[in-house]
Amino acid sequence: MKFADIQGNEHVTAALSAMIGSGRIPHAIMFQDSDGGPGVPMCLAFLDALMGSSSKLDKLIHPDVHFVYPVSGAPALSFVQKWRELVLSNPYFTESELDEALGLEGKSSLIAVADAKQILEKLAFNSLEGGYKAVVVYLPERMNQEAANRLLKSIEEPPQMTQFLLVTHSPEKVLPTILSRCQNIRLLPGGAPHASENESTAQYRSCFRELMDALIARDLMRSLEAGEALSALGSREKQKAFCRFAAGQIRKIFMLQQGMEQVAGLTPEDVFLRDYASRVKKTFPRAAAAMLDRALLLIERNVNQKILFCDLVNRMYLYII
């Protein structure tokens, strides 16, 4: 993966190239991305420019590049082959696609202290290729407190010639002490070689629009019917994916309300969000984001789905206008 392979975010690739060219590179860079966005491809392109192109890097088997990502029941290293296969086949994968690829559907995944400890042990050794060592952390918001604290010192004072790259979809959930020690870069959605939405995303967008239209119209019965449709999505993984998608849409509404459209990352399919931003209360996005986080937690705890989404709809109905 090279910078030239990434469509969009040209201002970011230009800035990263300039950093490498000048030798003034932040020791930790956090890419704030949307689910299914260009965060992982940007990390791979950055490493290609920093460490030099190689077949090992292209195949994700470079001995000085280490990946950390949320797993369940075993260390991340146990899933490394499945991780490689997913990234090589589709670097613009979503969180639900990662869970499916790793066989974690229906399980709560996180970055545990054992994985953080293993990475720190590897960083203690000299580079095997004689250049940079790098750690790519996918979804640092999923680190438990102990794992985050373990990595914090290395991110603050990394070993010489060590680069940390982090990709987050929810920067507000990242440990503040880690967030503050990274160069934060917002990536706009897009860049995938396939410009059209996949079937699942189109379904989540349709469900989101139906729910929001009903809520804004103050039609409680229609809103409850939209909630009923969410409870019938087919699986807990799809319901969780919808909540993540909806949270991303809510964040865009918030940024539009704050006059930050340039960094909202609207896609052609998102134009309707401008209308929502002008019609809902400015307190709604923060409240709705918290409601969706709560719904995600309850889905993972296997709460009755009809009750869960009925409660979500009721809460949003009270706050939206």
Query: Contacts from 14-19 at CB under 8 Å and sequence distance 24+?
Result: 15/185, 16/42, 16/45, 16/46, 16/49, 17/49
What span, in angstroms and rounded, lies between the C-alpha atoms of 51 and 64?
A: 10
State pTM to two decimals. 0.79
Question: Do residues 187 and 273 touch, judged by C-beta distance below 8 A?
Answer: no
Question: What average pLDDT score do residues 224-231 get?
Answer: 96
Q: Go through the domains of the chain in sequence order and give each one's CATH number.
A: 3-186 (3.40.50.300), 199-319 (1.20.272.10)
pLDDT digits (tens, 9 = 90+) for 268-287: 889 999 999 999 999 999 99
Question: What average pLDDT score do residues 93-116 get?
Answer: 88
Q: Tell me: pLDDT of 196 over 60.
A: no
Reported as half-sphere exposure (CB side, CA atoms, 13 A), residue 155 has a value of 26
User: Which one is predicted more confidently, 154 or 31?
Assistant: 31
Token pair 């989404």 is at which residue? Answer: 309
Residue 197: pLDDT band (50, 70, 90) is low
Q: Tell me: pLDDT of 162 over 90.
A: yes
SS3 (DSSP) at 30: strand
Q: What is the 3-state secondary structure (H, E, C) of 159-175?
A: CCCEEEEEEECCHHHCC
What the block records as the tokens of 99 is 């869970």
pLDDT digits (tens, 9 = 90+) for 60-95: 999 999 999 999 989 888 999 999 999 999 999 989
pLDDT digits (tens, 9 = 90+) for 299-317: 988 899 999 999 999 999 9
